[in-house]
């Protein structure tokens, strides 16, 4: 058994209290507990059907062969599709499309975006990801540990954003 890492002083104090109450090392507080409680308290999610199918997104991703890479589709679910682009067997970049109807808070980060791709707001997040929000609905994300933000934006430009915008259901 090993201690969980917590991210702030209050968390550490809470963990110690719980650890003491449980008689020492054991199943103490984790950084995921609050989210777990919220998930259990929330209503059951509605059946899928209100979001765009992942298969519609595949055609919007950058083409196979872009920058000499081989495209491999890796996920395709309701509201999400993803492909990896490989050079010599190694993944150079992963590009995904997600329908933010399933996760509206994802749109918040685009407020005040200073860059655009194809006229749509684009931002950088963390050290490895760049993304664009198309038609205020579909987030296209390019993540790579080897390409910088500008290179990733170029990849976003290679996605078929106008085609994607047309998928917006009425």
Partner 1 sequence: MEHLHQTLSALPAQNLTVRLLKLTSQWVDDEWENVTDLATLIRKVTGETKESDLQAIGERAMRLYADPNEHYQRAVRVYRLVDDVDKLIGGASLVDQVAQRFSFLGFLDRLVPKPEKMQAVDAGAKLAAELVAFTSVNGLPGDSVSDFARSLANSAHEDRLRLVCWVVAEGVLPFGPDCVQLLIDRVGSASASDLQHSAIFGKIAPLLPGDAQALVVRTLEGIGDWAGALMKKQQLTQASVGASLRSILDVGEGSFDVLGAAIDVGTNYFEHTGTQSVARQIVKRAYGEI
Residue 138 Cβ vs partner 1, minimum distance, rounded to whole Å = 11
Quick check: 134 binds partner 1 (CB under 8 A)? no
- Could you write out the three-class secondary structure of the chain? CCCCCCCCHHHHHHHHHHHHHCCCCCCCCCCCHHHHHHHHHCCCCCCCCCCCCHHHHHCCCCCCCHHHCEEEEEEEECCEEEEEEEECCEEEEEEEEEEHHHCHHHHHHHCCCCEEECCEEEEEECCCEEEEEECCCEEEEEECCCCCHHHHHHHHHCCCHHHHHCCCCC
Task: Return the number of the residue (37 or 63) whose C-beta is nearest partner 1.
Answer: 37
Residue 55 CB neighbour total at 10 angstroms:
12
Site string for partner 1, 7-46 (x = CB under 8 A): x----------------------xxx--xx--xx----x-
Residue 158 Cβ vs partner 1, minimum distance, rounded to whole Å = 17
Residues 50-109, interacting with partner 1 (CB under 8 A)? 54, 72, 74-78, 80, 82, 84, 86, 94, 96, 98, 100, 102-103, 106
Task: Return the number of the residue (55 or 150) whose C-beta is nearest partner 1.
Answer: 55
Residue 126 Cβ vs partner 1, minimum distance, rounded to whole Å = 4
Task: Return the number of the residue (65 or 170) whose C-beta is nearest partner 1.
Answer: 65
**Closest Cα partner for 138 from 109, 76, 96?**
96
Cβ contact 139:108 at 8 Å: no
Residue 152 Cβ vs partner 1, minimum distance, rounded to whole Å = 13
Contact residues for partner 1, defined by CB under 8 A: 2, 4-5, 7, 30-32, 35-36, 39-40, 45, 47-48, 54, 72, 74-78, 80, 82, 84, 86, 94, 96, 98, 100, 102-103, 106, 125-129, 139, 141, 143, 145
């Amino acid at each position: 058994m090993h201690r969980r890492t917590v991210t702030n002083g209050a968390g550490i104090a809470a963990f110690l209290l719980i650890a003491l109450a449980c008689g020492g090392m054991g199943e103490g507080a984790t950084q995921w507990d609050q989210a777990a409680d919220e998930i259990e308290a929330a209503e059951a999610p509605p059946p899928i059907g209100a979001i765009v199918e992942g298969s519609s997104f595949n055609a919007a991703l950058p083409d196979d062969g872009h920058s000499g890479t081989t495209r491999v589709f890796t996920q395709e679910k309701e509201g999400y599709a993803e492909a990896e682009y490989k050079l010599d067997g190694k993944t150079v970049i992963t590009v995904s499309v997600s329908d933010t109807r399933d996760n509206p808070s994802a749109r918040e980060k685009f407020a005040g975006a200073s860059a655009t791709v194809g006229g749509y707001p684009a931002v950088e997040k963390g050290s490895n990801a760049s993304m664009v929000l198309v038609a205020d609905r579909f987030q296209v994300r390019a993540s790579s540990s080897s390409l910088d933000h500008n290179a990733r934006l170029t990849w976003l430009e290679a996605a078929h954003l106008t085609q994607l915008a047309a998928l917006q259901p009425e």
